[in-house]
Amino acid sequence: MIPLADLGPIAQLRAGRLPRRLPQLFLGLWLYGVSVAVMVRGDLGASPWDVLHTGLIRHVPLTLGQAVIAMGLLLLLLWIPLREKPGMGTVANAIVIGLSTDVTLALLERPDALLPRVGLMLGGILLCALATAVYIGAQLGRGPRDGLMTGLHRRTGLSIRLVRTALEITVVLVGVLLGGRLGVGTVLFALTIGPITQALLPRFIVALPQRDVSADGARRPRSASAR
């Protein structure tokens, strides 16, 4: 599998292949927002973070997409003490997913029958995994929630798995207390999204040119010994 590069925000843009990577980034983010709306319309349980978002909008005058954006921007503020560096994909993630969610919700109604709702739930999970693989594969920065996870991992020394599990349990509990949409879809999402995304990711990682990139983003050709 092509490895994911660990680049700063400037280096991400200077790493090349932007005509391929930028459309892939925005396609993945837009599809992610569609997947959020599809699961919500299935009404059999939202993803862990969307349990929080659906609970939040019961108490504040926001649409679901606006709540996604607001939460993403709030999480970016938490990156400051964690010393995480946002990239283009980070900021786009915080905004595009919310816009796509609201557009899709406006176009898609909740079906009454159970079978179509099960189809929306399953389709939403699969689409979310695909969308995640697509936008991560563009290599233009982590999303606000992923950055919070990796930042806490670095600062606390706890494993990624433990930090992610603790975060998702926390947001689900808070979301439930706020009246969010918890259900079988929430559990199925939590159990399957990681393995499905991992299986799809190798197909979408954009290979970056083989050159060393300094911390300030300046490109340097690889030395003969590094080839």
- Within 8 A by CB and 6+ apart from 6, the residues are none
Question: What is the predicted pLDDT for the residue at 46?
Answer: 95
Asked if the structure places residue 48 within a domain, the reply is yes
Token pair of 121, please? 């739930």
Question: What is the predicted pLDDT for the residue at 215?
Answer: 43
Asked if the structure places residue 165 within a domain, the reply is yes
**Tokens 């837009």, residue located:** 30
Taking alpha carbons only, the member of 217, 50, 23 closest to residue 137 is 23
Asked if the structure places residue 215 within a domain, the reply is no
- Residues making up the chain, counted from first to last: 227
Taking alpha carbons only, the member of 148, 192, 166 closest to residue 47 is 192
Asked if the structure places residue 5 within a domain, the reply is no
Q: Rounded to whole angstroms, how far apart are CA atoms 5 and 183?
A: 36
Asked if the structure places residue 217 within a domain, the reply is no
List the domain range (segments joined by +) for residue 95: 13-204
Asked if the structure places residue 53 within a domain, the reply is yes
Asked if the structure places residue 57 within a domain, the reply is yes
Strand partners, 220: 212
pTM of the full structure: 0.87
Taking alpha carbons only, the member of 162, 159, 154 closest to residue 82 is 154
> Which residues of the chain fall below pLDDT 70?
1-2, 210-227
HSE at residue 125, side-chain half, CA atoms within 13 A, is 25
Type of residue at 70: A
Q: Is 220 helix (H, G, I), strand (E, B) or coil?
A: strand
Total tally of structural domains belonging to the chain: 1
Q: Is 146 helix (H, G, I), strand (E, B) or coil?
A: helix
Asked if the structure places residue 22 within a domain, the reply is yes
